[in-house]
């Protein structure tokens, strides 16, 4: 029965991932995916979901039931398997003093596609497993180069592109996390001032699970001809998720969010974008379109979307901002 349902569901899924016969993924409609939650309990309330979701993101308890409870159950299986493999390898190597390092989950995708909401929802669900794991969430925003550096290098219009990050700091942070070090510091970022906060850090102290969210976390890099080891951010991930939507949808979500922020956060005199709160709606729309075309669309096409096939799981959203298709990499 399940296979028949899968065949029917897959027939209804838009073909956006190449030839399904040769794909490394299994594809599920949202309704089929929802069946995999089994007896996973709902541990969030409607008020909590509303608090966790980002501006312009309509996720509710029904969406958590449809998509995120099954995903929580899947991740639980991966974490448990990772712990079993660690113990087996520890015995194999005759190690007695090595402790398990954090299970790292990477979340990638375009601006305005809902990464932050997904990361926060998952962090809450995972922390409420019966084993009560310690879960931390870190975004890559704090690892952006300061605006002063970007302006000096004439890169403000490329903010969010791979070259606008302090890649060395990113790799050192994740390396320390995976080495099981205590009190690893992550730089912090202010969306109000649109800049890294100087000399301000948050401490990550040996969590059981770390969620690492950012638009380019699955980015690859050129490999040296001499075969030297060149680490990538995704090398430190145990599981990765890419959140996808059609380009036209992301475009509309970005502009809608910009216009809503103009009525809310941009009104704060300390906001980097405060000047956009006082101009006409027509001028604001023109600026939002310019930011999309000149920065975010270019980044999506050149850097973000090409990393989608590297993810272990892809959540594809539809027009209503809710997940319609789940693609899970085959084992």
Task: Give the CATH number for residue 118.
Answer: 3.40.50.300
In a domain, 51, yes or no: yes
Structural contact between residues 132 and 72, judged by C-beta atoms closer than 8 angstroms: no
User: Is the pLDDT confidence value at 271 over 70?
Assistant: yes
Angle in degrees, CA 51, 54, 60, rounded to 5 = 60
In a domain, 146, yes or no: yes
Which helix H or strand E contains 78, and what residues bound it?
Answer: helix 69-92
**Closest to 207 in 3D by CA, of 58, 100, 95, 330:** 100
Instruction: Please tell me which residue, 329 or 14, carries the higher pLDDT value.
Output: 329
What residue numbers bound the domain in which 47 lies? 36-58+67-219+227-240+249-304
User: Tell me, what's the pLDDT at 225?
Assistant: 82
User: Is the pLDDT confidence value at 233 over 50?
Assistant: yes
Structural contact between residues 46 and 310, judged by C-beta atoms closer than 8 angstroms: no
User: Tell me, what's the pLDDT at 6?
Assistant: 44
User: Is the pLDDT confidence value at 11 over 60?
Assistant: no
Distance of CA 199 to the CA centre of its chain: 25
Tell me the per-residue pLDDT of 235-251, one tens digit each, with 9 for 90 and over.
999 999 999 999 999 99
In a domain, 197, yes or no: yes
In a domain, 267, yes or no: yes
In a domain, 186, yes or no: yes
In a domain, 189, yes or no: yes
pLDDT band at 17 (very low <50, low <70, confident <90, very high): low
pLDDT band at 99 (very low <50, low <70, confident <90, very high): confident
In a domain, 17, yes or no: no
Q: Where are the beta strands (DSSP E) in the chain?
A: 25-29, 103-109, 135-139, 184-190, 195-204, 209-213, 239-244, 313-317, 323-329
User: Is the pLDDT confidence value at 51 over 60?
Assistant: yes
In a domain, 20, yes or no: no
pLDDT band at 252 (very low <50, low <70, confident <90, very high): very high
Q: How many domains does the chain have?
A: 1
pLDDT band at 18 (very low <50, low <70, confident <90, very high): low
User: Is the pLDDT confidence value at 182 over 60?
Assistant: yes
Q: Around Cβ 92, how many Cβ atoms within 10 Å?
A: 8
User: Tell me, what's the pLDDT at 255?
Assistant: 97
């Amino acid at each position: 029965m399940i296979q028949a349902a899968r065949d029917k569901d897959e027939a209804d899924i838009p073909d956006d991932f190449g030839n399904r016969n040769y794909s490394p993924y299994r594809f599920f409609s949202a309704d089929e995916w929802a069946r995999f939650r089994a007896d996973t309990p709902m541990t969030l309330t409607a008020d909590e979901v509303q608090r966790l979701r980002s501006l312009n993101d309509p996720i509710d308890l029904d969406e958590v039931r449809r998509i995120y409870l099954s995903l929580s159950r899947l991740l639980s299986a991966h974490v448990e398997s990772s712990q079993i493999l660690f113990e087996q390898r520890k015995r194999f190597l005759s190690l007695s003093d090595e402790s398990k390092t954090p299970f790292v989950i990477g979340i990638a995708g375009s601006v305005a596609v809902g990464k932050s909401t997904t990361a926060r929802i998952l962090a809450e669900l995972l922390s409420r497993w019966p084993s009560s794991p310690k879960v931390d969430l870190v975004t890559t925003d704090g690892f952006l180069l300061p605006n002063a550096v970007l302006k000096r290098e004439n890169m403000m219009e490329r903010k969010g592109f791979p070259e606008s990050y302090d890649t060395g700091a990113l790799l050192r942070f994740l390396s320390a996390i995976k080495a099981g070090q205590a009190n690893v510091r992550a730089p912090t970022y202010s969306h109000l001032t649109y800049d890294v906060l100087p000399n301000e850090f948050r401490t990550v102290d040996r969590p059981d699970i770390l969620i690492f969210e950012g638009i380019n976390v699955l980015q690859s890099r050129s490999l040296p001809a001499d075969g030297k080891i060149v680490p990538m951010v995704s090398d430190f991930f145990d599981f990765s998720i890419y959140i996808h939507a059609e380009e036209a949808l992301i475009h509309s979500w970005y502009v809608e969010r910009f216009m809503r922020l103009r009525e809310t956060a941009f009104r704060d005199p300390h906001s980097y974008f405060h000047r956009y709160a006082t101009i006409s709606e027509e001028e604001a729309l023109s600026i939002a379109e310019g930011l999309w075309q000149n920065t975010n669309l270019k980044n999506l096409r050149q850097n973000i979307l090409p990393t989608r096939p590297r993810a272990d799981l892809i959540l594809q959203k539809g027009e209503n901002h809710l997940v319609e298709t789940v693609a899970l990499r085959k084992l």
